Amino acid sequence: MSVGIRDVARAAGVSTATVSRALGRGPVSDALREQVEAAVRATGYRPNLSARRLRSQATQTIGLIVADIRNPFFTAVSRAVEDAAYQAGMRVILCNTDEDAEREALYLRLMQEERVTGVIFAPTRATAQAMRAGSLDFPVVLIDRSGPPGAHDSVVLDNAAASAALVDHLVAQGYARIGGVFGSTSSTAQERRAGYEAAMGRHGLEPAARACAPNALAAEAEAGRWLAEDGRPEALILSNGLMLMGAVRAARTLALPIPGALALAGFDNEPWTELLDPGLTVIEQPVAEIGAQAMSLLFDRLKSPDQPVRKVVLSGRTVLRGSTRKP
Partner DNA sequence: ATGATCACTGAAAACGTTTTCAGTCAGCTC
Partner DNA sequence: GAGCTGACTGAAAACGTTTTCAGTGATCAT
Q: How far is the CB of 178 from its own copies (least distance, A)?
A: 23
Residue among 11, 18, 197, 282 that touches DNA (CB under 7 A): 18
Q: How far is the CB of 24 from DNA (least distance, A)?
A: 5
What single letter denotes the amino acid at residue 312? V
Q: Which of residues 194-223 bind its own copies (CB under 8 A)?
A: 216
> Strands 61-66, 263-267: parallel, antiparallel or unpaired by DSSP?
unpaired
Q: Which is nearer to its own copies, 53 or 311 (CB)?
A: 53
Which of its own copies, DNA, none binds 216 (CB below 5-8 Å, type-dependent)?
A: its own copies
Asked if 117 is part of the footprint of its own copies (rule: CB under 8 A), the reply reads no
Q: Which is nearer to DNA, 31 or 275 (CB)?
A: 31
CB 8 within 8 A of CB 45: yes
CB 73 within 8 A of CB 67: no
Residue among 160, 162, 245, 250 that touches its own copies (CB under 8 A): 245
Q: How far apart are CA 297 and CA 236, in angstroms?
A: 35
Q: Which is nearer to its own copies, 111 or 171 (CB)?
A: 111
Burial letters for 243-266: b for 16+ Cβ neighbours within 10 Å, e otherwise?
bbbbbbbbbeeeebebbeebbbbb
Taking CB under 8 A as the binding criterion, the range among 7-15, 85-93, 173-181, 182-190 that sits at the site for its own copies is: 85-93
Q: How far apart are CA 19 and CA 28, in angstroms?
A: 9
**How deeply is 37 buried, as exposed, middle or buried, from its count of CB atoms within 10 A (0-12, 13-18, 19+)?**
middle
CB 157 within 8 A of CB 186: no
Q: How far is the CB of 318 from DNA (least distance, A)?
A: 49
Asked if 70 is part of the footprint of its own copies (rule: CB under 8 A), the reply reads yes
Site string for its own copies, 256-275 (x = CB under 8 A): --------------xxx--x
Distances in whole angstroms, Cα of residue 200 to Cα of each of 25, 102, 129, 169, 204: 61, 36, 28, 11, 6
Residue among 25, 31, 87, 113 that touches its own copies (CB under 8 A): 113
Asked if 27 is part of the footprint of DNA (rule: CB under 7 A), the reply reads yes
Would you give the end-to-end CA distance of the chain in angstroms? 74
Which of its own copies, DNA, none binds 275 (CB below 5-8 Å, type-dependent)?
A: its own copies
Asked if 109 is part of the footprint of DNA (rule: CB under 7 A), the reply reads no
Q: How far apart are CA 149 and CA 131, in angstroms?
A: 12
Q: Which of residues 129-168 bind its own copies (CB under 8 A)?
A: 137
Cα Rg, the chain, nearest whole Å: 25
Q: How far apart are CA 301 and CA 138, in angstroms?
A: 10
Residue among 230, 277, 303, 304 that touches its own copies (CB under 8 A): 277
> Strands 281-284, 178-183: parallel, antiparallel or unpaired by DSSP?
unpaired
Asked if 86 is part of the footprint of its own copies (rule: CB under 8 A), the reply reads yes
Residue among 10, 37, 43, 47 that touches DNA (CB under 7 A): 47
Q: Which is nearer to its own copies, 106 or 313 (CB)?
A: 106
Taking CB under 8 A as the binding criterion, the range among 62-70, 173-181, 196-204, 298-306 that sits at the site for its own copies is: 62-70
- Can you give the binding site for DNA, defined by CB under 7 A? 2, 4-6, 13-21, 23-24, 26-29, 31-32, 45-48, 51-52, 54-57
